[in-house]
Amino acid sequence: MSCHSPKNKSKNELNFKDTINIALAGNPNVGKSVIFNQLTGLSQTIGNWPGKTVERMEGRLEFLGYHFNIVDLPGIYSLSTYSLEEIVSREFVISEEVDIIINVIDATNLERNLFFTFQLLELKVPMILAINQMDILRRRNIDLDFKELERIFKLPVLPVVAVHGTGVHQLLEEAIELVVHNRPHRHSREKRLIESKYHGRPRHHSRRKRSIESKHRGHHYYRVEHALKRIESKGTIKKSFTFPELNQITSFGKEVELKILSLIEKINNYEQIVSSCNYPSRFLAIKLLERDLEVIKIFTDNEEGKVIFELSQKYREELESIHGEDINTIISSEIYSNIKKIIDLVLRTKIKKSRERRTLADFFDHLTTHSIFGYLILIAIMFGIYFFTFSLGDFFAEIMDNIFVILSDVVYINYGADNNLVKIFWDGGVGGLVGAIGGVLVYVVPFFLIIEILQDSGYLPRAAFLMDRVMHSLGVHGKTIIPMILGFGCNVPACAGCRIMETEREKKVSVALTSLVPCAATMTVVLGLVGRYLGFYWVLILFLINFSVIFIVGRILNKTLPGQCTELIMEMHEYRVPNYSVIFKQTWVRTKEFVFKAMPIMLLLGIILEILLIFNALEPINVILSPITVLWLGLPAITGVFLIYGILRKELTLVLLSILASSLNVTLLELLTPIQMIIFSLVTMLYIPCFATVILIAKQTNWKYAIQISLLEIVLALFVGGIINFGSLIFISF
Amino acid sequence: MSKKSNNSKTNKNINVSLTKCLTECENGEEVVVLRVNAGRNAKTRLANLGLVPGVKIKKTKNAPFKGPLEIIVKGSSLVIGRGLASKIIVECNGACLT
């Protein structure tokens, strides 16, 4: 991660490339992503934290002669062990991979945001406070005293308007200052300059940003000052940094504080912890009181630690009986009362707030949560997603197919259509690629776009608000409606969207249910077969069966997966205009990830299937599957292979069927009886999700679960298909 | 447990205030949280978001069909599932007399 290769720009310039590793931390929806995008642009990559299913967004940039590695941590509210995101974040921050934290704070929600700040302070890592959305605060005629904040926190506090780009690069300058001086620096002249600059809305903010940057590029202060200091990253910035003494603000009430101090003393005497653990003693003391599972593990490893642990529990019980409250509630209350004192000192409303003005955002809020309009809008959005996919995706898919056909003719003319090599590489390889792009990517990209827009604008919590009740009857969390709605377009990004679930259990359930939602590809099959030959009412019936299966699977998972369904607790932030730069960049990054991770596998599958086709290995497959396809489902034997192809792309089942029909010069109606059409469509809807979805399920949970769900769905599909088959046979014989 | 009922009795006698659960509040009503009778996890998550005994909150809306509630805590809007909301005991300051 830290690269120490100096780059020689010119003979006169000194080599001073060093690396600073930054973590962006803050509550959800504070504008972290906007800042992250501004800083890292297209260098972003999405990965996973090693061994975990939490996303890791990283990016790089070079600024003023330094390399910056920036990691955008997930938006969280505290550093407990409630969710994987919190655990991953705190372990990362304390590790050698982070030199500086930039805590992004929403100025319009200062009290709640500072709660997380206080949690971060306990880690004693060099920190810069970035107060974002200052423009909105100004608009509300509220003043924030930055000097006072710096005096209180003894750390750099900077104003930022991320959507305009103001103040963002100043954060990096501040980081450089911290690195060089090893202590928080004083309020500089430049900072005061920037503060006055964010008044009003700059028209050409990109120009402003560039001008600020160019001013600094020519600024020799950094180059000369830092030239001779070569800083070794990997934890030394942290070690040489004197974290300010913040007892004044972080101390709790006497009873709690005394117990914490006593624990700190014991911990400091405990050799093993002091040497091996990176967490500060005060942090460990507080977490022990709060019964933090990960911290308890550290202590109960051996005898000495257990003594301290037991003492902490004794203290906890004493405190709980004094206050009559849970320890977490006690400590949170203490933190909030400390925060209140700070707020009273730094926040000032300039004009007496008159009657609250209703804004457009309020209007949309009422509309989308209305008892009638809310649901209508929800249904409209669901259809909208489906039509958006269907039309945009189809449009591009057709273009791709046409190009492929034209090119295929050229290839066949030059190399022969029966050449096995041609078949493998062109039909299988390139064909598979075209299939992956034309069949999946063109649907998936509009999706990533829609997800980002819905998420950024703030609609999704409103959907969860409306549907929580229904979701509970499914035994599922209210937020699950969100990926399920998206599943109507394409299951692939919808399953990726299940990352918003807070616990593993919720993730598992949502991912399973989302994969059962009929996506646009599945709908193609249903409409093209049942809709076209049997009428619309049968389509509705199939839908009903599909939803019943979703309901049943929800119930099954609810009973079998350990743990309870958690209650909905969700922040609903104001509607806002989506930031297009962020949306496009995020969509691009996710598309890149999909292209590099999922598509190679699909390509491989396409080639394999083509090889099997050449060597006529498919006929045996039909024979092997015939007990299932013919006997159990009552379908013609040839459908065996089509269903296998359907694993790659669901609509292939219908596509291949149509190809067969036209090659035999019959219509689909002659190939399949109505009952067979129904069974075929149902099986396509319910059996294993398309392969890309399976990969995504595995990414969100693990491969074992992905396989389990796939098997469950296959079994269900066969079960339903079989019932209909035998049911119809019995019915007919009457 | 007994501590709680003592408190509410005393409150009723001295302050003429009404103790009820969040789900019984009207839209737009401002109340003070007395306690949260939920499990540890839910309590902690609520506490992290600022919902602790003694804090003033305002109930803004109800989802239809007995769905979740929306409240304003510390300046931000939270949605809480109905089951959990019914376990949040609040006190209104004499302004509401149902």
What Å distances lie between residue A639 and A303, A464, A658, A689, A719, CA to CA? 65, 40, 11, 17, 17
Q: Given A77, A112, A371, which is nearest B64 (Cβ)?
A: A371
In this structure, are residues A32 and A26 in contact, taking their beta carbons and an 8 Å threshold? yes
What Å distances lie between residue A268 and A264, A673, A720, CA to CA? 6, 79, 64
In this structure, are residues A565 and A558 in contact, taking their beta carbons and an 8 Å threshold? yes
Residue A25 pLDDT: 94
User: Hey, what domains does chain A have and what are their CATH numbers?
Assistant: 18-240 (3.40.50.300), 251-349 (1.10.287.1770), 373-563+580-733 (no CATH)
Judge: A572–B70 Cβ closer than 8 Å, yes or no.
Answer: yes
* A142-144 and A55-63 strand pairing: unpaired
Interchain contact A566–B (C-beta under 8 A): yes
Q: Which residues of chain A have pLDDT under 70?
A: 1-17, 48, 50-53, 182-239, 351-358, 389, 416-419, 422-424, 427-429, 431-432, 435-440, 598, 602, 605-606, 609-610, 613-614, 616-618, 662-663, 734
Q: Which residues of A touch B68 (CB under 8 A)?
A: 465, 468-469, 478, 568
Q: Which of B10, B40, B44 to probe by mutation at the A interface, max A CB count within 10 Å?
A: B44
Which of A656, A651, A645, A648 has the alpha carbon at shortest distance from A602?
A648
In this structure, are residues A126 and A178 in contact, taking their beta carbons and an 8 Å threshold? yes
Tokens of A546: 């599909």
Residues across chain B: 98
Residue spans per domain, chain B: 2-92
- Residues of B at the A interface, defined by Cβ within 8 angstroms: 3-4, 35-36, 38, 40-50, 52-55, 61, 63-68, 70, 73-84
Residue A120 pLDDT: 93
Residue A184 pLDDT: 61
Judge: A568–B70 Cβ closer than 8 Å, yes or no.
Answer: no
pTM of the model: 0.79
Which tens digits make up the pLDDT trace of A701-711?
A: 888 888 988 89
Judge: B77–A571 Cβ closer than 8 Å, yes or no.
Answer: yes
Q: What is the DSSP letter of A81?
A: S
Residue A8 pLDDT: 35
Which tens digits make up the pLDDT trace of A669-697?
A: 777 888 888 888 888 888 888 887 888 88
Alpha-carbon distance A164 to A35, whole Å? 10
Interchain contact A362–B (C-beta under 8 A): no
Tell me the three state secondary structure of residue A642.
helix
CATH assignment, B2-92: 2.30.30.90
For the beta carbon of residue A708, count every other beta carbon within 10 angstroms: 15
Judge: B55–A469 Cβ closer than 8 Å, yes or no.
Answer: no
Residue A105 pLDDT: 95
Alpha-carbon distance A646 to A662, whole Å? 19
Of all residues in chain B, the one with the smallest CA distance to A467 is B67
Tell me the three state secondary structure of residue A27.
coil
Residue B8 has pLDDT above 70, yes or no: no
Phi/psi of residue A18, each to 5°?
A: -135, 165
Judge: B45–A325 Cβ closer than 8 Å, yes or no.
Answer: no
Q: Which residues of B touch A334 (CB under 8 A)?
A: none
Chain A closest-CA separation from residue B19 CA (Å): 18
Judge: A465–B64 Cβ closer than 8 Å, yes or no.
Answer: no
The ipTM of this complex is 0.81
CA dihedral A612, A615, A616, A622 (to 10 degrees): -30
Count residue pairs from A and B with Cβ separation < 8 A: 125
Q: Which residues of A touch B49 (CB under 8 A)?
A: 77, 112, 569, 571
Which tens digits make up the pLDDT trace of B28-63?
A: 888 899 888 888 888 888 999 989 888 999 998 888
Chain A closest-CA separation from residue B84 CA (Å): 6
Q: Which residues contact A323 (CB under 8 A, 6 or more apart)?
A: A330
Cα torsion angle, B83, B85, B88, B93, sign:
negative
Q: Given B48, B67, B74, which is nearest A111 (Cβ)?
A: B74
> Cα A618 to chain center, whole Å?
40
Q: Which residues of A touch B52 (CB under 8 A)?
A: 329, 332-333, 336
